[in-house]
Amino acid sequence: MSKQDLSITAKLINGGVAGLVGVTCVFPIDLAKTRLQNQHGTDTYKGMIDCLVKTARAEGFLGMYRGAAVNLALVTPEKAIKLAANDFLRQLLLGDGVQRNLKMEMLAGCGAGMCQVVVTCPMEMLKIQLQDAGRLAPHHSLSAAGPPGLDSAPSSSLSTQKRPSATLIARELLRTQGPAGLYKGLGATLLRDIPFSVIYFPLFANLNSLGVSGPVGKASFAHSFVSGCVAGSVAAVAVTPLDVLKTRIQTLKRGLGEDSYSGITDCTRKVWKQEGPSAFLKGAGCRALVIAPLFGIAQGVYFFGIGERVLRCFE
């Protein structure tokens, strides 16, 4: 195995390990974010803490991890693609990485954001349905009519399941809509993830470079962690309006009186008209609390070099 191949493999391992650890730590907050963004008004949840408390009481501790399985299964390739693509593009565009060129750094981030949606879009499509199921329970039972696009599903497949599963949802989407069903909201996902990566990666690189020491040649674990947290928080809050649109568009089942959306423009218009501009910042605090440690852990593990250590064992 060449040194370059070793480096790429190590980066993929680092990204995958970081994603698994990060998601396990912050998933309940991500569930609260999804439910807060999807609710119209404040009838059910008044905030993140209220959402988590009510979820724990109604659904138990494991209820706060609804959708975690599909996220854990797919977060490894997602984070691996995102981090490795950005690193590869930075090396391609910036050479030895010593030079600083904000435009090239933003371009590398843009490329990473575009690459990751191959996994991100279907992963979040399935995750959102599972996360939002508990919020919809008071509105109507989960055995009611299926969501748009799943109406033709046999009654035995959906109505007999009190709690939906990722496998069931994926199977029905593929059967009724084909692969396009899993990529519903692709445009909104791109609109969120590209700006996020354009903001996050250059900001992290510049913050992290401030902690690089001469003898070691890289920043400490603690500095990389803090840099990832700060950059992640800034990028997460900045793109929250786009995340709200993506969540609304990808949600298949609706509560009583809740609108469905035909696309990004229709969703933007209806949310603005019916709920006001503040609705576009729903879940901003939750999102910052999710992304900050998620990317702090990711960058810490990535720069700590777990992948390199694992591969050395097989040399």
pLDDT in tens, 115-132: 989 999 999 999 999 998
**Whether pLDDT at 311 is above 80:** no
Q: Which domains does the chain have, with CATH numbers?
A: 3-312 (1.50.40.10)
Question: What is the reported pLDDT for 73?
Answer: 87
**Whether pLDDT at 4 is above 60:** no
Q: Which percentage of the chain shows pLDDT scores above 90? A: 41
Pairwise CA distance, residues 147 & 150, whole Å: 5
Top pLDDT among 52 and 295 is at 52
Binning pLDDT at 50, 70 and 90, where does residue 265 land?
A: very high
Question: What is the reported pLDDT for 176?
Answer: 93
pLDDT in tens, 157-197: 333 345 678 899 999 999 999 999 999 999 999 999 999 98
Top pLDDT among 306 and 138 is at 306
Task: Using alpha carbons, select from 224, 245, 298, 277 the residue that is nearest to residue 76.
Answer: 298
pLDDT in tens, 266-284: 999 999 999 999 999 999 9
Top pLDDT among 104 and 13 is at 104
pLDDT in tens, 223-256: 888 888 999 999 999 999 999 999 999 998 887 7
- How many angstroms separate the Cα of 39 from the Cα of each of 33, 90, 91, 132, 153? 10, 40, 43, 9, 26
Binning pLDDT at 50, 70 and 90, where does residue 299 land?
A: confident
Average pLDDT over residues 263-267: 95
Task: Answer for the pair 149, 181: CB distance below 8 angstroms, yes or no.
Answer: yes
Which among 17-21, 143-147, 240-244, 289-293 has the top mean pLDDT? 240-244
Q: What pTM value is reported for the model?
A: 0.81
